[in-house]
Amino acid sequence: MLCGYGRVGQNLMRYLNRFHMKAVAVDRDLVRLQEASAAGEHILFGDSSRKEILVNAGIQHARLLVVTFDDPRLAERILHTARELNPNIRVLVRTRDDTHLDALISAGAEEVVPEVLEASLMLVAHALMMLDVPFDRVIATLRKTRRERYRMLQGYYHGDTLPTTDSAGNPYRLLHAVTLSDKARGIGRSIADCALRDVEIRAVKRHDKTLERPDEELVLEPGDTVILYGPLEAVEAAENRLLGG
């Protein structure tokens, strides 16, 4: 079952048809409904978050539910309704980025596909293959990145013009590097003792080494560069605690 029948939904339906898999789409665009129905597509009109619409579409017997549009809040409502009607259904959700990834997973999505991160991942794959990295290693890297929920691709260093919130006002998570001087408050303390809130320490760069996912017992030293990951306000607060400003 497909929730949404825009370009992404229609492309998915074409491939499902090619593999002789029966599917039905639900969409709220009447013009699209008329066009697709005239072409013989199996599409129903309605709001996918409503129980009666999902029942009419056959949610009780569906093996897979795919939310093809980028509306995380609506996707969460669909997930809750779908799980109520069919607890065993597998759910795949499309989003623009990773802002709502954890919330959607918690709501019951088995897989979340953030477009921006997938585009980056495909660019990485093509670049590696053009540099003669063996195909099996490239595929293994893609699978590992997806299995870890795109962790390696999450976060980026913001520029002057990059917004800090999405269209719904939710904060983007960003990377920020903090280098500790001799007088920094965090020197001589473990990461746990620094009590940083709502941020993740992605790495600590010490001399010519990068300590990824450092243990909370790691004691910070002068010259360490701490790579923070989180919402802007939390990152700023963490920097303040580390430096003592």
Give pLDDT tens digits along the chain (245 positions): 999 999 999 999 999 988 999 999 999 999 999 989 888 889 999 999 999 999 999 999 999 999 999 999 999 999 999 999 999 999 999 998 888 888 899 999 999 999 988 999 999 999 999 999 999 999 999 998 888 878 777 666 666 555 566 655 666 778 889 999 999 999 999 999 999 999 999 999 999 899 988 999 999 999 999 999 888 889 989 999 999 85
Calpha distance 172→208 (Å, rounded):
30
Calpha distance 108→102 (Å, rounded):
10
Calpha distance 74→84 (Å, rounded):
16
Starting from the edge strand earliest in sequence, which strands make up the sheet with 111-114, in order? Answer: 43-45, 25-27, 2-3, 64-67, 90-95, 111-114
- Is residue 65 packed enough to be buried (19+ CB in 10 Å), middle (13-18) or exposed (0-12)? buried
Starting from the edge strand earliest in sequence, which strands make up the sheet with 173-179, in order? Answer: 173-179, 225-231, 200-206, 209-212
Hey, which residues does 9 pair with through a beta bridge? none
Which pLDDT does position 175 carry in this prediction? 85
With 0.75 as the threshold, say if the pTM is over it.
no
